[in-house]
A and B are shown apart, each in its own frame.
Chain A
Amino acid sequence: QSALTQPPSVSGSPGQSVTISCTGSTSDIAIYNRVSWYQQPPGTAPKLLIYDVSSRPSGVPDRFSASKSGTTASLTISGLQADDEADYFCCSYRSDNTLVFGGGTKLTVL
């Protein structure tokens, strides 16, 4: 079961925007609106940022936005802050009734 593909790392300066991509296939991202994104600071449990491609749970700032096009989903963080520095993971439902995560992207705030 191949993981979704994310860039290993991205970086940006405070106040800037960064986008993290998540590439899947025609068995997952392309056909299901069930992509979720998670933020994981070091040594902590993941936190849900986005579900169903672009919906934010209560309490998640609107600086975090997401979308998808074809087999690729994207998470954009605008107005970067120092405490945005963390690992970010995408996840998608698959046609065989399974779930798959991306390999993770380390965000560095310069």
Chain B
Amino acid sequence: QLQLQESGPGLVKPSETLSLTCSVSGGSISSNNYFWGWVRQPPGKGLEWIGTIYYAGSTYYSPSLRSRVTISADTSKSQFSLKLGSVAAADTAVYFCARQRKGVGANPDAFDIWGQGTMVTVSS
């Protein structure tokens, strides 16, 4: 069955770039029926959508993070990645990658399969 696994540094210094990769096993990210997204959750707080990518390259970003976020996909490795620049303490969170259904109108919809999440701390 499809599984997602986040990987990347657990500690990032302020003002630097956070980089995470999501590896997808048991299936391909080159599916017409799905999008691939990133969600984060600061300690003790709620979920925040970061952004989403379609394998062909279309991207969708949270307005509040758009200026600092880049999501890309490598179909040959069945991976997609997140880069968040100029990080600060407020970016400390568990970062989840997830598969998203394609909704009516061919736009990203619900997150149906999630990775276990990876904790990223921003600190000097």
Contact = CB atoms under 8 A, between A and B. Distances in A.
A70 B47 CA distance: 23
A45 B60 CA distance: 22
Main secondary structure of the interface of B (DSSP, over half): strand
B63 A45 contact: no
Interface stretch (A21-29, A46-54, A72-80): A46-54
Interface string A34-57: 101010100001111001100001
Interface string A70-96: 000000000000000000010101001
B48 A57 contact: no
B32 interface: no
Contacts of B61: 98
Interface residues of B, number: 27
Contacts of B101: 51
Interface string B32-59: 0000010100000111110010000000
A63 to B, nearest CB: 19
Contacts of A103: 46
B33 to A, nearest CB: 13
A45 B116 contact: yes
22 contacts: A1-B64, A34-B103, A34-B104, A34-B107, A45-B115, A45-B116, A46-B47, A46-B96, A46-B111, A48-B110, A48-B111, A51-B101, A91-B47, A91-B111, A96-B63, A97-B60, A98-B61, A99-B49, A99-B60, A101-B46, A101-B49, A104-B47
